[in-house]
Structure 1
Amino acid sequence: MDFSCAVCKRSFSRPQDRLSHLTLTHDPKHRAHLRQLNQFEGKRFREAAASARNARTRRTLTKSRNISNLSTFSSFPMEVDAGYQAGLTNGHTDSINEDPELLDEEGSIVSEDDYLETQERQEEVAFERVMDVTAQEILEHTTVFDFLPDPVLKEEVAESVSDDDQPWVWDWHPTAGQVFGKKPTVHERWSRLFPGKDAEAIENYKPFASRLEWEVAQWVVQERVSQKSFDRLLKIPQLKEKLGLTFNNARSMLQKVDKIPERCGPWFTKRLSFKDRPDEHFIVRHRNALDAIRALWGDPAFSNDLVYKPVKLFRHPSRTSEDRVFNEMWTGGFWNAAQERIPEGGTIAPVIIATDKTSLTQFSGSKSAYPVYLTLGNIPKALRRKPGSRACVLIAYLHADKLSKVGLSDTTLKLRNYELFHRSMAVVLEHLKAAGDPDGYGVEMVGGDGVVRRVFPILATYVADYPEQCLVTCTKYGTCPKCQQKADALQDASMLAPRDQFWTIDKIQTARKELKDRGGRAVHDRTMVDDVAGGNYQPFWEGFPLTDIHRCIAPDVLHQLYQGIFKYLVEWVQQVVGEKELDERIRTLPPTHGVRHFAKGISVLSQLSGGEHRHIARVLLACLVGKLEPEGIAACRSMLHFIQLSQYSSHDHETLKYMVDTLRTWYRHREYFIDKEVRQHFNIPKFHALLHYVQSIRWLGTTDNYNTEAFERFHIDWAKEGWAASNKRDHFPQMVLFISRKEKIASYDFYRSWAGSNMPQLDTNSDEQEITATVTKLGPGSDNDSEECISVGRTKLRQYSQAPEIGQSMTIHLTKHPSEPRKKLSHILVSHSAPGFITELKRFLCSFLASSDQPAKHTTLQSSLPFDTVDVWHRFNITPMKLLDDEVEKAIVRASPISRTASIPRYDTVIVLDGENAESTAVQGCRAARLRVIFRLPETVNRYGFPSPSPLNWPAHPLAYVTWYTRFARAPDKGTGMYKVQPVVGSNGIPLGAIIPLSDIRQPCMLVPSRAEWEKGWTSENVLDQCPSFFVNNLQNKYSYQTIY
C-alpha cells in the first residue's frame, strides 16, 4: 500500500516515512500541511477523551431523571393495591418460583434499590464501551512512530554550589562538660521509692495496686474524664470487683496519682502589690526555675541527646571564619564565649525563656493566661520542637488580668503594667542569678545517665513577639530593641551602635538620680528621650551573670516575617494589582499537595493566621508575573527569598551572604511601592529587624532554635486544656493541678517503660552513597498491612557532604491493593490522557532484551504486548530525603484518571532523576515531568496462547509513565528566580514521555503559568493542559527552596 504526500504527491511505503518526509522538508507548503496535521490529530484526541468524560455527565442526568420517574411510577400501583387489600388471596400473590428474568420486564414492580443497582451496572458497562470505542479511535490515529530526536533543550551541566567532599571539622571545647562523679538517676531513685523486681509483681506498680489500676488512672487523666463521670462509672455494679480496683471514687484515684513525685518541683504562689494600693494583690504562680532545669537535665529520655560542650563547626580543615557553620545553639558564638568565662571544667546550660499572653475564652468572656516556658539549649532543637518530647516545661503563670484604671492616668497605668511584669519575672527567675555566677561553684546536676557535672545556667535567649520584646528590654515602643536607631530612621539600610544591658541600666539609673524626688512618671519621661522605657523599678534581668538582654532577643519568624513583613507585602500588592485580579490568579493555580488552594481567593479572608500567610507566600510571586513591573517583582522576590533563607536549619558564610544580598535587593527596589503611592516611608520596626538576623544566627544559632511558633503550640497543652478542665471559677489553681497530674502520669509512664527495657538507640552513621531501591511487602502480621514501602538510598549530598544528622533515604509508600487492578491498556490511553503509554511501554520492555534480540523500532511498535492489563494506582506517598535535621513532610502525589465517578482528572508534576549526575539537591541531571500512570507489570504473561511467568529480568517494583517538560536551562529566570519549562510534544502532536521506575521520582513540584497574560478560560483543573509554558515554583515549601536551584 502506498502512502502519498498531499503536497508533492510523492509516494512512500510506510506512513512513518511520509511523516519523516513532512518533518524534514522545510518549504512553507510542507510546513503548513504538517502544522494542520498536528492540529487535527490533537483535536481528535481531545474530542475522543472528552467523549469519555462527557459520557458520565450524560448518564448522571439520565440517572436523575430515571429516579424521578421511578418515584412517580411507584405511587400509583401502591394506591391500587390499597383498594384491593380486602380481597387479596394466595391466588393473587406472586409465585416464588417465577422466572427471575421475567421479573424486570415492563409492568413488573421492582424496588428503588434494585433499580439503582441495575442502573449502576448498566452505567459501568456503558462507560467501558465508551472507553473501548475512544481507545480504538486513538489507536487508529497514533500508530505512526516519530524517529526524530527529542525536540528539547540541550542538557546543560549546572555549576555545583560546592565541590568540596571533605568532612566537616568539629572543634569541641577541650575542658567543658567535665564529669565530677556519678549518682543514682531519677529512675533509680524512683525504683527505691516504688520497690519490686518482678515485672508482674503487684508492688511494681506502686502507688497503684495493679497494672490495670495504673492503666485506668492513666486513661482518666489523659482523656480528661470528669470526676463526676468517673464516679458514675465506678458505681456500676461489680465493675470495681471485676477490674480489681481499690479506689472508690475519682478523689481516691487522684490521691494515688498525687503520690507520684513532681517532675519539675512544687508550685509556689507569690502575692505582689503596689505601695499606694496594698489591698490590691496580683498573684504569680511559679516553680523554682532551677528545679525545672534539673528535671530536663536529669530526664533519662535525653541522656543520649544532651550536649555539654560548645563547638566551632567548620566546613573545611582550614578553619577560617568563612568556613564556619551555624545550626544548633552549641555552634553559636554565645555558648563559645560564655564557656571561656566560667571555671575550667564547668558546663553551660543555656536557658531559653518564652512568654506569650494567650486568650482562654473563644466567644465570650475575657479570660487570659500569661504562661512562662523554659527549655535548654543543650537539648537538640529537633527534640525541643516536638510537644510530645517533654523538652519544654511550664514554670509560671504571670498575672494576666487587666489592672484597674480607677484614679490612674494612661501613662501611670502603662508603667504599672511594666513594673508588675518585671517584678513577676524577677520572682520566677531569681534563683538563676546565683546559680550562673561565673565566680561561684555552679550547681551540681545529675544527668539522665547518672553523671554529675557542675552546671552554670545562664539566660541565653528570650523568645517573644515585638511588643513583649520592647517590654522585656525596656525599649521605647516603635524603636529597635537591639540597636540605638531612632524611630524615624528605621528605614535606613544601616544599624547604629548596639544597645547593651549596661547602657540601658545606665540610662535608667541616671534618670533616677536626677529625678529621685519626682516619681516614676518623671523618670519614664526622661528615659524615653533616649528611647528607653524605664521607671522606678528594677528590670528583672539586672544582675544576671553573662547576660545581655538585648542580644538575648531572638528573631521571630512567625510574627516578624509571616505576620509582619509578608502581611504588609500582601496589602501593598493588592493595592497595586487589585484584589479581584490577584484572587483570579490564585484561583487558577493548579492543586498541589502541601499548598492550600484558595478557591475563593484571599480577599474574602479576614484575620489571616500565620499558617494562611505561609501558604499565600508559597504562591504569591507566581501570581505577580505581568502584573508588576520588574522592580516590583524584584522587591517581592527579595522578601520571599529572605523568609525562606531565614528558616534554613544550617547556615554558613555563603547562605548568610545570600541573606545579606536579598536585603540589599530589597533596599534597592523597595521605592517601587512608594512610587505606586501605597507607602510613604519604611520606618517599620519589623523591616528594620531584618538587619539583625545574621548577627543573631551567628550568636545564638539558626532561627528554628527559638521560633515563637513552637512555643505557641504549648498553649494548647498548658493553658487551654487546663482551662477546659476547670470549673471556670478560680481556674488557675485547678489548671496548675491539672498540669501537675498530667506531668506525673507522663513521667510515671516513661518510668514504667524504662523499668521494662532499655531505650533503643538509632544508628545515624550509615555511609550509604549509592541509590538503592527495594520493595518490601508488608504482610498481615506487620503494623501496616495495607501499604508497600520502597526505600530509596540517598545520593551523594554535594552541598552538605558528610554532614551530621542527614537522612539516609527517601521512602515511597503504595497501598497494598491497587486502585484499579487489571486495568486494560487501551483504557489507560483514554482515562489517563496518555496516548503514548503503549508505545513507551513497548520501548521499555524491549530494552530488557539482549541487544542481538532487539528488533527494529518499527517492528517493536507494531508488535503486540504479551499482556493487555496492568495494576494501576492513583496515588502514592513520598517522604523526600532529609536535609540535616529538617523535618520533611510526607507528600501525596496523584495520578487520578477520569472514571465513572470522577470527571476531573489530576496528574501531579514531579522532579525526576534523569541522569547519572542527578543528585538529591539542585536540578542538574533532573527533569520536570507530569505523572500520568502508576502501575506494575503483571507477574503472568501470555506466551503462545498459554499463561506463563513474566521474564525474570522484568522489574518487579512499581513503575510510572510520565510526560516530559523541557530540560532545565543553565540558570533560572532573572526576574522570578524560577526555572522555566515547557511541555515536550512530538511532531505528531503527542506529548513525549517515558516509563521510569517510581523510585526515580525525587520529589513533587509545583508548576505555575509563566506567561504575563493569563487566559480567561484557564482554571485550576485545566491550566496544566492549556498553558504553553511554566515556572517551577521553588517557593512551594522549604524543601523545594533548598533543592530546586
Structure 2
Amino acid sequence: MPEIGTPPLPPEPKSLNDWTLFQNRAEFKTAEFFYIKNQMPAGQIYHLLDLWDIIAGDPETIGSTFVPIILRSDKTTVSVATGNNEYYPLYLLIGNVHNNVRRAHRDALVVIGFLAMPKTTKKHADDPKFRKFCRQLFHSSLSRILASLQPGMSKPDIAKFRDGHFWRVIYGLGPYIADYEEQVLLACIVRFWCPRCCSHRDNLDATSVLRCREYHEALFEVGTYGELWTEFGIVADLIPFTNNFPRADIHETMAPDILHQVIKGAFKDHLVDWVEKYLVLTHGRTEADRILDDIDHRIVAVASFSGLRRFLQGRGFKQWMGDDSKALMKVYIPAIEGHVPTEVVRTFRALLEFCYLVRQNTITERTLDEIQDAVSRFHQYREVFKTSGVIPMFSLPRQHSLMHYAHVIRLFGAPNGLCSSITESKHIKAVKEPWRRSSKYKALGQMLVTNQYLSQLAAARVDFESHGMLKGTCLSAELEALGMLDNPDVPNDEDPNDPPPNQASNLEDGDDLMIDHGPTVLQAHTRLARTVPSCTETKRARSVLALADELHLPSLPALIRRFLYEQTRPDNTLDALSSYLRVLSYDVPLAACPRYEGKVSVFNSACSRFHAPSDLSGIGGMRVEHIRSCPMWRNEFSCHDCVFVNTGSDTEGIRGLDVARVRAFFSFNYAGTVYPCAIVCWFDVIGGSPDPETGMWVVRPAYYANHAPTHTIIHAVEIASADTIYCAAHLIPIYSNQFLPLDITLHVSYDAFRAYYVNKYVDHHTFEIAS
C-alpha cells in the first residue's frame, strides 16, 4: 500500500499492436470514417456492412475494398437554333468520394459514354414495338458500357489509389440518379406508378410493400402480361440492365432526386399551379389576376441578398429553369400570405422544411424524425386543395416520392450529394462547351476526345501540384533551372482565389457570392473591403462629423465615444444576457467617454466567411458572402443589408443572435489601435417562438423612447467573442392581406414596413440557424 503523497507509477508502455476496443488498425480507421469523417446514418452503415458480409462470404474477396458505382444519365440540348441537337450523356462517380467533393463540382464526376437516341418517322414514333425497342436499347447499352466492370464485381481487381498504394477492389452498382421519367424507364414500370413500391397508381400514398427483383420475378411466374401491367404497373417484356450484374437490384439503387421530385415537381409544377387554380375558383378570373399581380409585386419588392435571384417581372415567365424554382421557394410564402387560407401557407411551409431538411449536409436520426414530421404535416394541410375542388386526388408520383426519402437516406446518406443538380451543371463542361468547340459535323467523336483531354489535364494538375511543380511563375521556374534566381520566394502566376479548372461557379444574378477553397474554420470571420472608395467617385465622408452628416445621424460622435469607452475599459466584459449589449455604457456620463472626431475610412461592403457545408461551398465547406452598405448600388439606389450579430450567447441558432441593419462600414485609428466598425440599427424579436403559419421568426425595428431608431456602433470583424457580425440576414416584409402600393420597390423594402419575417428559406445555412 503506497504512502499518501507518493507519485503514481509511470504507465506501462503500450504495445504498437494494441488496438484495444478494435481488432486492428483497419477496424479503427473504418469506425473513424463512418462516425467522424463521413458521419453516416446508422442504416447506411448497416447496409454497407451487409454488402461487405456478402463480399466476405467469398474467400477470394476477403480484404478487398468495396467501390460503389454511382450512375446518372440525362438528356440535354446543346443548340435549339441549329436543329434541336440532343445528347444523352452517361455520368459516373464512385461512392468512396466524400460528399463535399461531389458537391464542390470537382472532377469526381466524369462522362463515360453517350447513350443512343433512335430516330424514326412520325408514323412509327408511337408504335409500341418502336417504343419497346428504345427502352430495351437503353438497358442493353448500359449493360454494354458497364461490362468492363463486371469481372471486378466478383473477383478483386487491382487498382492504384491516390496514396500510391495498390489495393484489391470489388466493384458494385450503387445509387442511380434519375428524374421520374427516367426512373420509370430504369425500373421497367408503367408511368404514374411508383418505381420503389407496389402502391396502386390510383392511391400511391397507401402503405405497400417495396418492389424488388425477387418479387417481380415471382409475379412473372403467375401473372400474364396484361395483369402485370394493369394490377402492378410492371412492363413484363423488358429486362433491367441490373439483372446482368451481381448484388444489383434496380428498385433499390434509384437515388432520391430533390431537384425534379421536390423543387420542380411538388413545389413548382404542383403547389404553385394549384394556388392559381384556387384563386380562380374562389374569386373568378378577373379578381384572381388582380391578386396574382399583387403576388408578383410582392416578389419583386423583396430586398436583395447575395445569391438571391431577382424576379423583375414576378413569377410570370414562360420557361422555368431549376434555378428559377429554387429562387422562388425562398420568397414565395410571404408573397401569398393573406391571399390564401392558412392551410395553404402551412402546406408550403411543410414542403419547404422537408426540402431544406433533406438538403442538409449532415442528417441524423433526429433530422429523419423531422423529415417524417414535415411529410405528415404536408399530407395533412394539402387536403385544402382537394376540399376546395382544385384537384380531385393526390396520387402523384413525384409527391409520393417524399414518403420514401427517410428509407433511401438510410441506404445512401445525405441526398444533396446525389441530386441531379450535380449533373445539370456538368452538362455545361462535359457536353455543351465541347460541342461548341467542335466542327458541328459528327461532333460526338470530337466531344469525347475533348473530354478525354480535359480529364488528363485535370489529373496532370493534381499530380504537378502534389509535387510542388506549379509554385512561382513560368519565368521564375526557368530562371531557377538556369541558376539565375536569387530569391525563390516569388509570387505565383495563378490567383489563389480563382476556382479550380472545370468548376462551376453557380452564381445567381451576378451577385457577390463565392465559395471558399480554404480549410474548414468553424468560427465565422468578417472583414471590411480591401480598398476605400475614391472620394471623388463616391463622395464618401472622410471624418466623423462628415459621416454623421452623410448618414443624417447627429448622434454619431456620441456613439463613437461610447463605443471607445467599452473598448478601452480594462475590465471590459460583455453581458451576453442583455437584450442589447450596447446599452451597458449608457449609464456612464458621456463626459467620461473618450473623444474622437478625427479621420475615418468608409467602406461600401464587407465579406463574411463562415462554415456552410449545406450550401454551395468549397471542399472544406467554407462560403463567402458580401454584405453591402453603400449610397449607390448598381447605379440605382442605396443598399444597406441586414446581418446577424453574435451576442456571445451559448444558445444555438437565432436565440443567440441579434438582427440588425448596417448603415455604414468604417474604420478609424485611436491611440494606435485600428477599429473596424459598423453602424447598425436594431430589430426586436417579437414573441418567443417562430410564426406558426410560416415557421419564420418575426422582428420589428427597435426605437428609443423618443421614437428614434436604436443605432449602435459594433465591431465589423471578429475581435471578441461577442458583439460582432456573424453573417448576412434576409428580411421579408409581412404584407398581411393588404395590396402592396405600386411605389414600393426592393430599394425601400427595409424602410416601409412595421414588421418583417427573418427569411430562413433564403439559403440552407440560414435555415439551420433561424429555424
1:627-1026 matches, within 5 Å, as 627-756=339-468, 807-819=521-533, 823-848=542-567, 860=590, 865-883=595-613, 887=617, 888-897=622-631, 904-917=637-650, 921-937=652-668, 939=669, 950-952=670-672, 954=673, 956-967=674-685, 969-999=687-717, 1000-1014=724-738, 1015-1016=740-741, 1017-1026=743-752
CA distance in 2, matches of 1:996, 1:738: 53
Contact 1:310–1:331 (CA<8 Å) still a contact in 2? no
CA distance in 2, matches of 1:989, 1:783: 56
CA distance in 1, matches of 2:629, 2:125: 67
C-alpha displacement of 1:665: 0.7
CA distance in 1, matches of 2:466, 2:735: 60
Q: Name the residue aligned to 2:115.
A: 398
Contact 1:983–1:1028 (CA<8 Å) still a contact in 2? yes
Q: Partner letter of residue 544 of structure 1?
A: F
Confirm whether residue 443 of structure 1 aligns to residue 157 of structure 2. Answer: yes
Q: Name the residue aligned to 2:264.
A: 563
Deviates more, 1:735-744 or 1:329-338: 329-338
Q: Partner letter of residue 991 of structure 1?
A: P
RMSD: 3.6
Residue 338 (structure 1) aligned to one of 51, 68, 75: 51
1:499-538 matches, within 5 Å, as 499-508=211-220, 523=225, 525-538=226-239
1:569-608 matches, within 5 Å, as 569-576=271-278, 578-603=291-316, 605-608=317-320
1:280-295 matches, within 5 Å, as none
TM-score of the two chains, using structure 2 as the length reference: 0.79
Q: Name the residue aligned to 2:502.
A: none
C-alpha displacement of 1:923: 1.5
Deviation track 1:228-284 (CA, whole Å, cap 9, x = no partner) reads: xxxxxxxxxxxxxxxxxxxxxxxxxxxxxxxxxxxxxxxxxxxxxxxxxxxxxxxxx
Contact 1:332–1:697 (CA<8 Å) still a contact in 2? no
Contact 1:807–1:882 (CA<8 Å) still a contact in 2? no
CA distance in 2, matches of 1:869, 1:927: 29
Closer, same or farther: CA 861–701 of 1 in aligned 2, 3 Å:
same
C-alpha displacement of 1:697: 0.4
- Unpaired runs of 5+ residues, structure 2, are 1-18, 57-61, 280-290, 472-489, 498-518, 573-583, 718-723
1:119-198 matches, within 5 Å, as none
C-alpha displacement of 1:395: 1.5
Deviates more, 1:413-422 or 1:862-871: 862-871
Contact 2:703–2:710 (CA<8 Å) still a contact in 1? yes
Counterpart secondary structure, 1:682: coil
Q: Name the residue aligned to 1:129.
A: none
Contact 1:786–1:815 (CA<8 Å) still a contact in 2? no
CA distance in 2, matches of 1:835, 1:679: 59
Q: Partner letter of residue 541 of structure 1?
A: T
C-alpha displacement of 1:750: 3.9
Counterpart secondary structure, 1:892: strand
Counterpart secondary structure, 1:912: strand
Q: Partner letter of residue 693 of structure 1?
A: Y
Q: Partner letter of residue 984 of structure 1?
A: A
CA distance in 1, matches of 2:393, 2:407: 25
C-alpha displacement of 1:875: 0.8
CA distance in 2, matches of 1:958, 1:620: 37
Contact 2:663–2:679 (CA<8 Å) still a contact in 1? yes
Contact 1:495–1:691 (CA<8 Å) still a contact in 2? no
Contact 2:699–2:755 (CA<8 Å) still a contact in 1? yes
Contact 1:965–1:981 (CA<8 Å) still a contact in 2? yes
Contact 1:311–1:331 (CA<8 Å) still a contact in 2? no
Contact 1:649–1:702 (CA<8 Å) still a contact in 2? yes
Q: Name the residue aligned to 2:203.
A: 489
CA distance in 1, matches of 2:467, 2:596: 60
Residue 79 (structure 2) aligned to one of 361, 369, 393: 361
Q: What percent identity do the matched residue pairs reach?
A: 24
CA distance in 2, matches of 1:651, 1:979: 24
C-alpha displacement of 1:565: 0.9
Counterpart secondary structure, 1:423: helix
CA distance in 2, matches of 1:176, 1:540: 38
Q: Partner letter of residue 731 of structure 1?
A: A
C-alpha displacement of 1:415: 0.8
Q: Partner letter of residue 428 of structure 1?
A: I
Closer, same or farther: CA 383–509 of 1 in aligned 2, 3 Å:
farther
Contact 1:176–1:347 (CA<8 Å) still a contact in 2? no
TM-score of the two chains, using structure 1 as the length reference: 0.59
**Whose Rg is larger?**
1
Q: Name the residue aligned to 1:1027.
A: 753
Closer, same or farther: CA 916–704 of 1 in aligned 2, 3 Å:
closer
Deviates more, 1:556-565 or 1:667-676: 667-676
Contact 2:560–2:596 (CA<8 Å) still a contact in 1? no
C-alpha displacement of 1:869: 3.5
Contact 2:76–2:87 (CA<8 Å) still a contact in 1? yes
Deviation track 1:543-575 (CA, whole Å, cap 9, x = no partner) reads: 422222111111101111111011122112234
CA distance in 2, matches of 1:723, 1:884: 32
CA distance in 1, matches of 2:132, 2:613: 47
Counterpart secondary structure, 1:880: strand
Counterpart secondary structure, 1:847: helix
Confirm whether residue 479 of structure 1 aligns to residue 479 of structure 2. Answer: no
CA distance in 2, matches of 1:398, 1:175: 45
Closer, same or farther: CA 596–882 of 1 in aligned 2, 3 Å:
closer
Deviation track 1:8-47 (CA, whole Å, cap 9, x = no partner) reads: xxxxxxxxxxxxxxxxxxxxxxxxxxxxxxxxxxxxxxxx
Closer, same or farther: CA 530–326 of 1 in aligned 2, 3 Å:
farther
C-alpha displacement of 1:590: 1.7
Contact 1:923–1:1043 (CA<8 Å) still a contact in 2? yes
Contact 1:349–1:456 (CA<8 Å) still a contact in 2? yes
Closer, same or farther: CA 744–589 of 1 in aligned 2, 3 Å:
closer
CA distance in 2, matches of 1:171, 1:658: 37
Counterpart secondary structure, 1:971: coil
Q: Name the residue aligned to 1:313.
A: 35
CA distance in 1, matches of 2:21, 2:606: 43
Counterpart secondary structure, 2:746: coil
Deviation track 1:787-820 (CA, whole Å, cap 9, x = no partner) reads: 9xxxxxxxxxxxxxxxxx9633333343333225
Deviation track 1:84-126 (CA, whole Å, cap 9, x = no partner) reads: xxxxxxxxxxxxxxxxxxxxxxxxxxxxxxxxxxxxxxxxxxx
Deviation track 1:846-883 (CA, whole Å, cap 9, x = no partner) reads: 33455899999695269994424411111112122345
Contact 1:839–1:861 (CA<8 Å) still a contact in 2? no
Confirm whether residue 413 of structure 1 aligns to residue 130 of structure 2. Answer: yes
CA distance in 1, matches of 2:273, 2:128: 32
Q: Name the residue aligned to 2:501.
A: none
Q: Name the residue aligned to 2:504.
A: none
CA distance in 2, matches of 1:806, 1:352: 27
CA distance in 1, matches of 2:243, 2:373: 37
CA distance in 2, matches of 1:394, 1:873: 45
Contact 1:355–1:371 (CA<8 Å) still a contact in 2? yes
C-alpha displacement of 1:433: 3.5
